A and B are shown apart, each in its own frame.
Chain A
Amino acid sequence: DVKVTQSSRYLVKRTGEKVFLECVQDMDHENMFWYRQDPGLGLRLIYFSYDVKMKEKGDIPEGYSVSREKKERFSLILESASTNQTSMYLCASVGPGTSDEQFFGPGTRLTVL
């Protein structure tokens, strides 16, 4: 079974703090994604990566950056957290051997005060 894990289920941070959200997958997938999900807006793609050290902007990259130093790990960074970044953050991965099906991690609910 594909397993995607995220470092925290719930996180509370203060405005201006630097926030790291970690995602790890155990299926040697090349492709990894970060989304945020807000009521009424659905899932919105922040960043994605097709390979180690590769990253591409999604639909809403402003205020975020990412890092992919190892194939299994994809990190989302909020350089200076703001209250409008309070959201559910979801990591996903897809790769060969899974019929291009995308699997999600459990999500991190981030609250910025």
Chain B
Amino acid sequence: QKEVEQNSGPLSVPEGAIASLNCTYSDRGSQSFFWYRQYSGKSPELIMSIYSNGDKEDGRFTAQLNKASQYVSLLIRDSQPSDSATYLCAPRGATNKLIFGTGTLLAVQP
């Protein structure tokens, strides 16, 4: 079992729809969780962090965390073509290092 699992995609959604990106992790000691967006050929850019169970909203983005289920998700409302990118889930492990998933490729169709 991988430490962090994400569906590689591509996840294709029409413009204006909600994109739902999911991530499961194996380290029960993880307390901090991060979502990064990475455009092709660019470095990852932090878009959301979440530390407590429940939802955290920031503009069109909502992160959801369920530590009991070892599950974290990212919702993107009103998806735009500019949201097309790879989204990386990264829990911080017990060793204090980020453990990255391989990412989900999101394609927003105009």
Residues of A participating in the B interface, judged by any CB pair closer than 8 Å: 33, 40-43, 45, 48, 58, 90, 99-107
Contact = CB atoms under 8 A, between A and B. Distances in A.
Given A42-B102, A102-B90, 20 more contacts: A40-B102, A41-B102, A42-B100, A42-B101, A42-B103, A43-B44, A48-B97, A58-B97, A90-B43, A99-B49, A100-B32, A101-B34, A101-B49, A102-B46, A102-B98, A104-B36, A104-B43, A104-B44, A105-B43, A106-B43
Interface of B: 32, 34, 36, 42-46, 49, 88, 90, 92, 97-98, 100-103
Given A43-B88, A45-B97, A48-B97, A101 B102 contact: no
Contacts, number: 36
A106 B101 contact: no
Contacts of A102: 34, 46, 90, 98
